[in-house]
Amino acid sequence: MQPYTTTVPGYPRLGPRREYKRTLEGYWSGKLSEEEFLERIGQLQTSQLQRQRDGHLELLPVGDFALYDQVLDAALWLGCIPERFQSLWEEQGRQVTPTLYYALARGYQGIAPLEMTKWFDTNYHYLVPELPQEFSLNGQLLLDKWQRARQVTDRLKVVLIGPYTFLKLAKLEGPAVAQTMERLIGVYRQGVQQLIDQGAEVFHLDESYLVCDVPAEEWPAVQAAYEALADLPAQILLHTSYGGVGPVYEQLVRLPVAGLGLDFVRGREENLQALAQHGFPQDKLLVAGVVDGRNVWRSDLEAVFQLVREQIEPHLAPERLWLSSSCNLFHLPEDVELETELPQEIKDGLSFARQRLEELHLLAQALRHGPEAAEPGWSRARETHSRWMDHPQRVQDEVRRRVGQLREEDFQRTPYAQRDPLQRAELKLPPLPTTTIGSFPQTPELRKARANAKQDPEGYRRRILEEIKYVIQLQEEIGLDVLVHGEPERNDMVQYFGERLQGCVTTQLAWVQSYGSRCVRPPIIFGDVVRTQPMTLDEAQYAQSLTAKPVKGMLTGPVTILQWSFVREDIPREEVAYQLALAIRDEVRDLEQQAHLRVIQVDEPAFREGLPLRRADWDDYLRWAVRAFRLATSGVKDTTQIHTHMCYSEFGPIIDAIAQLDADVISIEDARSDGAIVRALRDYHYPAQIGPGVYDIHSPNIPTVEFMANKIRATLECLPVEQVWVNPDCGLKTRRYEEVIPSLKNMVEAARQVREEVTAKG
């Protein structure tokens, strides 16, 4: 490889126009046969590689393109097939077929899928491996990817999840890590050797868990794993992303690997300090993550050039320095040039995945031959970056004054113990009240109407009101206690608000994968955030006018909007969070005072996701995240009940912060967590009301009355009945009415049965 070889840990798999999503959903719906699906998915992998090759990337990743999730791919590669799927595994001839693969991802004929949770501190969801007693290699899926990639180019590296990170993603702790590594590493080595036999020479092993807290008792497992791989005839590159490796740097550089990958964006200061203090081994490659794989702002290439020249290069020879993105580019949209409606001055400031490849190419040219060799692209990049940084619309003096004038009372409500009886008297709900999280199915008819909204705004408005009326009537027929309007007007719980807040822009095709075929278009927060008019008031007023039952106002919280957006980097995230909180606070006030809603839900599913990866850094984040939520929700009367919702959260370590949010009711994902969250809340003596999810909406399975009644009974073994609500574990947007209606009917019946049991016991 030449000096400054360019590479990335991975590239978006969605395709420029979500071709991946349509292929998966075509197969799941039966529109594509298995043979057609495999052919199309292979074509998508090929086109993904071709786009990277044509973007001048010099070493392309293989293995980052997953059929649903890269962790699931790794689990199947290593033979992690749970016992409950063994009969299906036998039926499929002990082969990783699409039927088996998606059964683990989505469930199968009543068999629960793997647990899903967040990938590090991002909005990507991965499937948690369930580890077997004995690992076994299932290498064909990866071999097929390798062979297909070789038809595009021979400049390839195999991307794998590293053995330590794999075990940590499976939620192993302490002695279990070393014990399991002993069983794992032989099969892992066998899989690497199998690829070497097919011509693979470079292996990128993603060990991003090394930027988290690494207990001393677990480090021997890391050491043992890489010693077991050391004699393989290949370049093993241990790669880290999402932060710095300062605490383990000295141990890391002594590992018997050919090279290390370090993040010089998010982990810049920490990794630079480690380099300056300890140097870098003269026998290793350094893969330097110098352009941002997480955010969309154009790189300041001159600053990156100086970073490499002055702070990285002094520690190693140029031929041992490769250039990379800070992490897998699948966190970014594909191509900013597809955005034809963005204001040009904002578009100039953006860099999506394709543009990151261009930045790496320009940077490599400039480092090899001087910036003049990278012209005219180098000057154009410098000019557009400078123009963006000086953009006048990014600062709103009134917003900054309002944040600066906040008082402590703006973050406070009357204590919960005093609010609770007032709300119960106001709402008059039965024990075990039933509700949903907020959204109802986004039908093809709704999506078609939204697509035509600009051509026929009045027709679209009528269609939205018709859907709200239908959803309210449906919920009354089913017998739910607290209703929602169904959110038919919302394309996404964050994008919707991004479209209505000044200081944000949204895109046409800047899709990012959340999980499987689920995609989002994160808003881009480029300036100070201002709410100029109500965002949800009309729909809420209309919904409440249709029923005597309470209707929940549905809002997305400030922390979640922050986490699920591409956020400006010129002011602290805390300040952006308070700006968003003030916008939501104004909306909450209008829902209460103008729509006369008695229940308002401010969702914060990303609250835990925002935690820094090391516990030492948690306190500061939790301080301002809690305050942002309280700022958004503390301007209401005591009789107004504030709900929040969180999903995919391991609450135990942050239960005190959850309590400090001071919400009256919290609904939580619990369907795939086996009651762990409920037990954590019980042990903490959580004071307010809780709605543990009684069924998993991410699976197409329709839960039975008995299944959900048993979930409620298990909850009541931990919590008193007056504290418990009954609801699904998340919104119903991605499901079909054919699944939603019977599921909710069963849920209401389950609540009724358990309510009667509780009443009979007195």
607 exposure class (CB count in 10 Å sphere: 0-12, 13-18, 19+): buried
| Contact between residue 408 and residue 703 where contact means Cβ atoms under 8 Å apart | no
Question: What are 228-233's contacts with CB under 8 Å, separation 24+?
Answer: 228/185, 228/186, 228/188, 228/189, 229/185, 229/188, 229/189, 229/192, 229/257, 230/256, 230/257, 232/189, 232/192, 232/193, 232/196, 233/196
Place of tokens 């203090």: 277
Contacts of 485 (CB under 8 A, 6+ apart): 468, 471, 472, 539, 540, 542, 543, 551, 554
Rounded CA gap, 94 and 61, in Å? 28
Euclidean distance between CA atoms 417 and 688, whole angstroms: 9
DSSP string for residues in 271-294: HHHHHHHH---TTSEEEEEEE-SS
Query: How far apart (Å, rounded) are the C-alpha atoms in residues 614 and 266?
Result: 13
Q: Are 239 and 264 in contact (CB under 8 A)?
A: no
Q: Looking at 491-596, which runs of residues are DSSP E strands?
A: 501-505, 512-515, 518-520, 524-531, 552-556, 566-567
In angstroms, the CA 134 to CA 86 distance is 14
Encoded tokens for 672: 């795939």
In contact, 60 and 157? CB cutoff 8 Å: yes
Could you write out the DSSP letters of every residue in 169-236? HTT--THHHHHHHHHHHHHHHHHHHHHHHTT--EEEEE-GGGGS---GGGHHHHHHHHHHHTTSSSEE
315 touches 279 (CB < 8 A): yes
Q: Please say whether the beta carbons of 495 and 523 come within 8 A.
A: yes
Q: Which residue has the tokens 């019980």?
A: 682
Residue type for 466, please? E
- Which two tokens mark 582? 């003030």
d(C-alpha 668, C-alpha 690), whole Å = 8
Given 385, 485, 643, 698, the catalytic residue: 698
Picking from 69, 51, 67, the residue whose alpha carbon sits closest to that of residue 11 is 51
Residue 258 in contact with residue 286, Cβ under 8 Å?
Answer: no
Q: What are phi and psi of 158, to 5 degrees?
A: -90, 125
Cβ count near 90 (within 10 Å): 9
Radius of gyration of the chain measured on its C-alpha atoms: 26
Please state the length of the chain.
Answer: 762
Can 204 be counted among the known catalytic residues? no
Q: Which residue has the tokens 């330590």?
A: 164
Q: Are 751 and 432 in contact (CB under 8 A)?
A: yes
Active site residues: 698
